[in-house]
Amino acid sequence: MKKYNIKNINLASQGKKKIEWAGNEMPVLKSLEKKFSKNKPLKGLRLAACLHVTSETANLMILLKKSGAEVKLCASNPLSTQDEVVASLVKDYGISVYAVHGASRQLYYQHLESTVSDQTNMTMDDGADLVNLLHTKKKNYLKNIVGGTEETTTGVIRLKALAGQGKLAYPIIAVNDAMTKHFFDNRYGTGQSTIDGLIRATNILLAGKVLVVAGYGWCGRGVAMRAKGHGSQVIVTEVDPVRALEARMDGFEVMQMVDAARIGDIFVTATGDINVIDAKHIKLMKSGAILANTGHFDVEINVKALQNMAKSNKEVRPQVVEYSVGNKKINLIAGGRLVNLSAAEGHPAQVMDMSFAGQFQAAKYVWQNYKKMKPEVYVLPIKLDNEIAKAKLSTMGIQIDKLTQEQKKYLSSWELGT
């Protein structure tokens, strides 16, 4: 069988430069490469990875390969694939990749199937699509799988649902739940890259605009914070009372989407749930409203409803489709797919350095410990999480204090008061 399916191998030299540029900002991955490329702790590992195929992901794949793993990669979203990076991974680094930017739904799933085989012994997902495939159509491949890892909140939700029904077939580390992942990637990564996607797609001035953020999880917090920094008036919508309160005390207006719909200029969904912006909200929006989603799947904005309500639509800029709804114009970015990876390049390398150090450590941990693990969703051991934070600090030239013996004693005692 052909070992890859890509757009154009001739893009490789462009892709290599991009991979190297990102790699220069991923010093934690570089330190792992230095540590593990000699003794190759991942020897024997046949890994199927389904991730956004970006220059940052390329650096993770190269590290995994140098550490002894045999890796195959496919895309976790048809619009985030960087074809030049794919070409270089195949040509310059000898890695099997099945990914084409803009792939149809059918090709997308074909690529997932090409990435797994009865020889695969570990999965690395961003959104749990490989896990889904192995628990449905390709159950016969489960016999050799020893474990897996998961990158994102949505994927972890799916895995927990599967485990809750007692159907998860192998242990998976939820890398997303590591502190060095969601505190930084979800908040600062999504915060910056979502604004980046909005600006690249529309070239809009955020200052003075009313920007509505749906969801105040780590991603929503990041988007709200960065939009505020650009001078937008930020409104948060939430279903969770504690998060809603936190948003209010962080200085944002909080209201229901039906109320925000009337006054928002820009809407960004970051909830992980479906139809958060629905027909009833779209009906209330101002002409010129801009809709974008930064959650993993393209389900948060009811695009079908928008299409049905509209008498016509046209592409007004790359990645922006204007729908004529009554006498109003509603603009949808990237078809409701992840705005940060479709209209921009995803999170910058500096933050993916930590997320992917977590992926590497999780894969290594599972490979070395799967015999002791159950088919459950695990968090990355805190020791490894802390090691990533320490390594990142060290690469940033930052030193922190250490507890003195006296302070350690104080923290472990209950007798000492005022």
Positions in the binding site for ligand ADE (CB under 6 A): 51-52, 54, 56-57, 189, 341, 346-347, 352
Closer of 76 and 237 to ligand ADE (Cβ): 76
The CA R_g of the chain, rounded to the nearest whole Å, is 22
CA distance 236 to 352: 26
Closer of 27 and 346 to ligand ADE (Cβ): 346
CA distance 387 to 99: 33
Query: Least CB distance from residue 398 to ligand ADE, whole Å?
Result: 23
Q: Where are the beta strands (DSSP E) in 190-305?
A: 210-214, 233-237, 253-254, 266-269, 289-293
Closer of 209 and 347 to ligand ADE (Cβ): 347
Query: Least CB distance from residue 136 to ligand ADE, whole Å?
Result: 24
Which residue, 52, 111, 106, is CA-closest to 79? Answer: 52
Query: Least CB distance from residue 204 to ligand ADE, whole Å?
Result: 22
Closer of 338 and 380 to ligand ADE (Cβ): 338
Query: Least CB distance from residue 119 to ligand ADE, whole Å?
Result: 25
Count other Cβ atoms within 10 Å, centred on residue 273: 15
Query: Least CB distance from residue 156 to ligand ADE, whole Å?
Result: 14
CA distance 364 to 376: 17
3-class state of residue 171 by DSSP? coil
**Going by DSSP bridges, is the β-strand pair 122-125/46-51 parallel, antiparallel, or unpaired?**
parallel
Query: CB of 331 within 8 A of CB of 32?
Result: no
Element (H, E) at 389: helix 382-395
CA distance 293 to 271: 9
| Residue nearest ligand ADE, CB atom distance | 346
Tokens of 80: 């985030």
Query: Least CB distance from residue 270 to ligand ADE, whole Å?
Result: 13
Query: CB of 180 within 8 A of CB of 354?
Result: yes
Closer of 50 and 145 to ligand ADE (Cβ): 50
Closer of 201 and 341 to ligand ADE (Cβ): 341
Closer of 217 and 264 to ligand ADE (Cβ): 217
Element (H, E) at 270: none
Tokens of 205: 């001035």
Query: CB of 162 within 8 A of CB of 383?
Result: no
Residues across the chain: 418
Residues linked to residue 321 through DSSP beta bridges, in sequence order:
315, 332
Q: Which residues contact 205 (CB under 8 A, 6 or more apart)?
A: none
Closer of 354 and 384 to ligand ADE (Cβ): 354
Closer of 99 and 131 to ligand ADE (Cβ): 99
User: Using alpha carbons only, what angle is made at residue 282 by residues 280 and 285, rounded to the nearest 5 degrees?
Assistant: 120
Closer of 67 and 152 to ligand ADE (Cβ): 152
CA distance 316 to 227: 24
CA distance 169 to 163: 8
